Amino acid sequence: MTALTEATHVPHPEYDREAVRVGIVHFGLGNFHRAHQAMYLDRLMAAGTGQDWGICGVGTRPADRRMHQVLEDQSYLYTLILKSGVGEPAPTIIGSIVDHLMANDDRDAVLARLSDPGVRIVSLTITEGGYRRNGAPSEDSVDVFDLIAEGLAARRTAGVQPFTVMSCDNLPHNGDAARRAVVDAAGRLGQEFADWVDRAVAFPSSMVDRITPVTTEEDRELVRTRFGLDDDWPVPAEPFAQWVLEDRFTLGRPPLEEAGVQMVADVAPFELMKLRLLNASHQAMAYSGILLGHSSVAAAAGDPLVEAFLRRYMAEARPTLPPVPGTDVRGYSESLLERFRNPAIADTLGRLATDSANRLAAFLVPVILDNLRAGRSVNASTAVLACWAHACANAVGDAQPQVSSTLRAAASAASEDPARFADEVEIFEPVIGYVEFRTALARGIASIRDRGVKAFLEEVAAEPGSR
């Protein structure tokens, strides 16, 4: 077994990692960041143009301690395994992460990093829920946005220009979501400071894409036995990767376009296309798939009924999208179905159903709202919510969508009184006033209850698509 630091028999960092300086502080260093942003930076370092943009990860939750320990033990190296489903998986050892801190254990070290003039970007993959402040953070967790605001305040006091805050989470207008959260946290330090943050800090939006599932025991075994590498936490991902990023940075940026990133003035059309076709389809597949007895994404996507339902959903979502520069949106939809079917990606419906209310709020509810406003059908997208209600109430174990106990109780009551469910769910607030929505949802819930999910999905999938 070869240590990652010694491995030369697979692609590995050939650049001098000692010469890499930290230029990016990243909050929420999970699998996606390691498969995406860190991979792009590693490409630049290999080309000799990214050496000022080393990454220092920051964990803010107790669960991040495991990542902290593993990375520290492995000199922050890990294996990215790309799986196309055809031929051998392709490993690359990624070297762009050079430090990781736990804010819970050493807040001062994190603030020192944030104050360092060499740090010019703070990036985020803290999940959709990470942008909602629900009361005080739990005792063991540190609030990401409080830390960022404190870091900005320290820089201002020291006369150091503010860093750029770059959200890489799947949220509509993720830059604006980050701005709101940072300005809100800055407001707790004073209104004048919050106004300064709002004026002086750049918050570019981005569209980020690479399906990156949770690491399994099989992935660890693959890396050990097939590649002879001693890696406690490799990252599996699909070969496809896309990053479209607004070119607004206060203190410069890495030459990301040289690594394949699309730098644009306005990311909104790309972002809408991806969230409403890929992520919302993931939601559509998760709850219908769970009710049909599937547990893996590949199996659900390979089920002709789920595929027909996804096509129907995408046809309903497409009219809500603006033209996307250089992109055939129908072709994009087809390519997604193929990516979902990748048999080598052990992605689970359980992962897609994690934190389900926040995901539906970000990806699906806006599609319903736009179609309602335009007087178009919302049957397929509302069918996703009817499936969600039944999956929340009836699925068990890993398949059960992650929701609050209040929401689960509402979902359980929905079978008895389908018309009530709409009023019980906070994330429906933007669409609750539309009678078409309420009727479609109640009808969907009752139809699954009375005729079963298969008959219901067959009926929805057979409706003529919008375009």
Residue 343 touches which member of ligand 44H, ligand NAD, none, C-beta under 5-8 Å by kind = none
Exactly one of 26, 210, 253, 318 binds ligand 44H (CB under 6 A); that residue is 210
Side chain identity, residue 20: V
Residue 460 touches which member of ligand 44H, ligand NAD, none, C-beta under 5-8 Å by kind = none
Residue 279 touches which member of ligand 44H, ligand NAD, none, C-beta under 5-8 Å by kind = ligand 44H
d(CA 182, CA 434): 33
Q: Closest distance between ligand 44H and the C-beta of residue 286, in Å? A: 9
d(CA 253, CA 52): 10
Work out the angle at residue 177's Cα, subtended by the Cα atoms of residues 176 and 179, and round it to the nearest 5 degrees: 60
Q: Is 359 in the site for ligand 44H (CB under 6 A)?
A: yes
Q: Which of residues 161-220 bind ligand NAD (CB under 6 A)?
A: 169-170, 208-212
Instruction: Give the range of 70-78, 205-213, 306-314, 423-431 binding ligand 44H by CB under 6 A.
Output: 205-213
d(CA 46, CA 16): 9
Exactly one of 7, 20, 25, 29 binds ligand NAD (CB under 6 A); that residue is 29
Exactly one of 143, 146, 150, 209 binds ligand 44H (CB under 6 A); that residue is 209
CB-nearer residue toward ligand NAD: 146 or 169? 169
Instruction: Give the range of 120-128, 145-153, 397-405, 450-458 binding ligand NAD by CB under 6 A.
Output: 120-128
Return the SS3 of 25. strand
Structure tokens at 194: 């919050």
Q: Closest distance between ligand 44H and the C-beta of residue 63, in Å? A: 16
Bridging pattern class, strands 97-102 and 54-59 = parallel
Which single residue brings its beta carbon nearest to ligand 44H? 170
- Backbone phi, then psi, for 301, in 5-degree steps? -65, -25
Residue 282 touches which member of ligand NAD, ligand 44H, none, C-beta under 5-8 Å by kind = ligand 44H
Work out the angle at residue 433's Cα, subtended by the Cα atoms of residues 427 and 439, and round it to the nearest 5 degrees: 90
Q: Closest distance between ligand 44H and the C-beta of residue 275, in Å? A: 8
Q: Decide if 144 contacts 111 (C-beta within 8 A).
A: no
Q: Which of residues 95-134 bind ligand 44H (CB under 6 A)?
A: 127-128
Bridging pattern class, strands 90-94 and 78-82 = antiparallel
Residue 320 CB neighbours (<10 A): 20
Instruction: Give the range of 174-182, 276-284, 435-443, 452-460 binding ligand 44H by CB under 6 A.
Output: 276-284
Q: Decide if 148 contacts 340 (C-beta within 8 A).
A: no
Q: Is 282 in the site for ligand 44H (CB under 6 A)?
A: yes
CB-nearer residue toward ligand NAD: 28 or 50? 28
Q: Residue length, the chain? A: 467
d(CA 413, CA 402): 17
Q: Which of residues 32-91 bind ligand NAD (CB under 6 A)?
A: 32-33, 60-61, 63-64
Bridging pattern class, strands 242-246 and 206-209 = antiparallel
Residue 57 touches which member of ligand 44H, ligand NAD, none, C-beta under 5-8 Å by kind = none
Exactly one of 31, 74, 79, 283 binds ligand NAD (CB under 6 A); that residue is 31
Structure tokens at 81: 């395994």
Q: Is 273 in the site for ligand 44H (CB under 6 A)?
A: no
Q: Is the dihedral of CA 169, 93, 6, 16 positive or negative?
A: negative
Q: Which of residues 131-190 bind ligand 44H (CB under 6 A)?
A: 170
CB-nearer residue toward ligand NAD: 208 or 384? 208
CB-nearer residue toward ligand 44H: 31 or 96? 31
Eight-class DSSP state of 466: -
CB-nearer residue toward ligand NAD: 31 or 371? 31
- Cα 190 from chain centroid (whole Å): 31
Instruction: Give the range of 153-161, 207-215, 299-307, 378-386 binding ligand 44H by CB under 6 A.
Output: 207-215
CB-nearer residue toward ligand NAD: 26 or 438? 26
Q: Closest distance between ligand NAD and the C-beta of residue 79, in Å? A: 15
CA–CA distances in Å: residue 352 to residues 179, 278, 318, 332, 345: 26, 11, 21, 20, 13
Write the DSSP assignment of 316-359 as a string of letters.
HHGGGSPP-TT--HHHHHHHHHHHHT-TT---BHHHHTTTHHHH
Q: Please, which residues have CB within 8 angstroms of residue 123's CB and are 6 or more apart in sequence?
A: 24, 25, 26, 27, 33, 37, 165, 166, 167, 168
List residues binding ligand 44H (CB under 6 A).
127-128, 170, 209-211, 278-279, 282, 352, 359
List residues binding ligand NAD (CB under 6 A).
28-33, 60-61, 63-64, 125-130, 144, 169-170, 208-212
